[in-house]
Amino acid sequence: MTVKEPDFWVLEYVTITQDPRTDLVVAIGGTEKAADILQRTGGFITAPGPRGDYHRLPHGLPVEQQRLKATTASHALLAAGHSVHLDPALNALATPNDDYDAALRYLAHLAARVFAAETSTEIAEVLTEIAAPVHGLLPLLREVVVLAGIVASDLQGTAPGEEPEPLARLGDIANSMSQAADLILHARNHTARAPQPPPGTARPSTLRHR
C-alpha cells in the first residue's frame, strides 16, 4: 500500500518579523488573500525581493506604530484562517512584565525539579544551571551587579577607586558571588559523583518535616 504524503499549505503560512539589518517590519509568505489583509489591516506595502515579492511596513514608523500594525495584521490573518508567526518583540498585546514573569516561572521550575529529583544526577543538573561559568544564573547575575556599580559610579562622576562605600561594596559582593558559584560547582561535582540509589528506592521525606 502506497502512503500518500499530505498536502501542506505552506503558502498559507505568514511570518511577521523585523529585519535585523534594515529594522524594517516585514511579512514573508502567504497568498494573495493574505497580501490583501496585510495591506488593508496593517498598512503593509508590497515590495520586490530577491526571492519574489514580500510585504513591509513603510519606512520611518515609530516603534509603537510598527508593533500596533504588525499585531493588528497578525490577528486579522488568524481570523481569516491563516497560520501566522508574529515576532514576540512586535506583539503589542504582550504585557510589560512578561520577561519578569518568565524568570519567576524558570526559578520555580528549578525548585520543582529539585523537589522531584530521584537521583543525584538530577540535582547536579540544576546546580549546573545555577552556577555554570558562562551561562549560569549566578555568574550572569554577578555581571549585572558589576555593571550596575560601574554605571552608577559613572553617572555620579566618581573617579575609579573613589566610589562611595555602598557602591564600592558592590565589588565585594560580586567577588562573593563568584566564590559562591565556585562552591556550588564544587557541590555539583560531588553530587554528580555520588552513588545513585537503586531504581524504585523511596527518597527520605526530609523536606516535609522542615
Q: Rounded to an integer, what distance in angstroms lies between the CA atom of residue 80 and that of residue 40?
A: 13
Q: Indicate the pTM of the whole model.
A: 0.50
Q: Rounded to an integer, what distance in angstroms lies between the CA atom of residue 28 and that of residue 38?
A: 11
Helix axes 165-193, 137-155, angle to 10 degrees: 170
- Per-residue confidence (pLDDT) for residue 73, from 0 to 100: 93
- Per-residue confidence (pLDDT) for residue 202, from 0 to 100: 55
- pLDDT in tens for each of the 210 residues of the chain? 566 665 555 556 899 999 888 889 999 988 889 999 999 999 999 988 877 788 999 998 988 899 999 999 999 998 888 889 999 889 888 766 667 777 888 888 888 888 888 889 999 999 999 999 878 999 999 999 988 888 888 888 777 667 778 888 888 899 999 999 999 999 999 998 888 766 655 555 554 444
| CB-CB contact of 142 with 177 (8 Å) | yes
| CB-CB contact of 27 with 39 (8 Å) | no
* Distances from the Cα of 165 to the Cα of 22, 144, 162, 168, 189, angstroms: 45, 18, 9, 5, 36
> What one-letter code names the amino acid at 117?
A
- Per-residue confidence (pLDDT) for residue 210, from 0 to 100: 47
**Is the backbone of residue 123 left (phi > 0), alpha (psi -120 to 50) or beta?**
alpha
Name the nearest CA neighbour of 61 among 35, 83, 92, 36.
92
